[in-house]
Amino acid sequence: MVTYSQEVDDDLVFKALADPTRRLLLDALFERDGRSLSELEAVVAARSEMTRFGVSKHLRLLEAAGLVVTRKQGRVKLHHLNPVPIRLLHDRWIDKYTERRVTALTELKRQLEDNS
Amino acid sequence: MVTYSQEVDDDLVFKALADPTRRLLLDALFERDGRSLSELEAVVAARSEMTRFGVSKHLRLLEAAGLVVTRKQGRVKLHHLNPVPIRLLHDRWIDKYTERRVTALTELKRQLEDNS
DNA sequence: TTGACAGGTGACCATTTGGTCACCTATTCT
DNA sequence: AGAATAGGTGACCAAATGGTCACCTGTCAA
């Protein structure tokens, strides 16, 4: 596959976001931060049938991308969501001027959906 | 692969963003909107060696994801960047309150990089 | 100190994805 | 009308990715 210069670390972020299970994990951490592998494993298990190894592998990719940061506490490893890479992703294609228009649009969309 | 409910169209967006060539195409459209396939082909060719077919296939995926919208004018097809899906992606993991802190952080980062 | 619990590593297989090619359609110019 | 230009489609192959398994390490409690 082709990879362009200065794209190496970005690539990890986008690749990490490309998988539905990994997005589910980010959703879980967005809802409540600082969960252990076992907890996250349970979240995933509620939706699909995946072993602990699968979840662990996904978390490793999220961590390598900087989307999740971890700290060890005894024998448990706590996971936290890091929003910075997502904001940078956003800023790559949405500048300050476009942002206002787009924000207005997405809020309109949300209101319309709420009223349905 | 696993796919979760209400994730189907999101999935297209994330998958579309996962490829470096497609990101390069979005960059090109962000810089100047409304380009034809031939123009975009030239942009990609300057970086890697890819045939028209490859570029065409990538554009089709971007269009399916809603990241690029097109309109035909005679025999040329003009491509435009649509920022809305990217904003929605952003809003999924960054709420209004977090946004302020993160924006401050990323701007600090940018300033530091400019001064180096 | 023995067992249970929380997690990690590397090999391996099935599926998906990126990319090209041969071939086709529609529009413009002379 | 005929040639050149702009683009599209489906089949196909090589490489990357998702997921599991067997096996290993470190930590806590009885």
Label residue B75 exposed, middle or buried (CB < 10 Å: 0-12, 13-18, 19+): exposed
**Residue with smallest Cα–C1' gap to D15:** A1
Tell the residue number behind the tokens 């920022």, with chain if given: B83
Nearest to B55 by CA among A9, B46, A14, B95: B46
Predicted TM-score (pTM) of this structure = 0.90
CA–CA separation, A13 vs B14, rounded Å? 11
pLDDT, one tens digit per residue, over A56-115 is 999 999 999 999 999 999 999 999 999 999 999 999 999 988 999 888 888 887 788 777
Write the CB contacts of A99 (distance below 8 Å, at least 6 apart in sequence): B87
pLDDT, one tens digit per residue, over B72-91 is 999 999 999 999 999 999 99
- For B18, the closest of A7, A14, A106 (CB atoms) is A14
pLDDT, one tens digit per residue, over B52-72 is 999 999 999 999 999 999 999
Residues from chain B that touch A14, judged by Cβ atoms under 8 A, are 14, 17-18, 23
Q: Is B65 on the interface with A (CB under 8 A)?
A: no
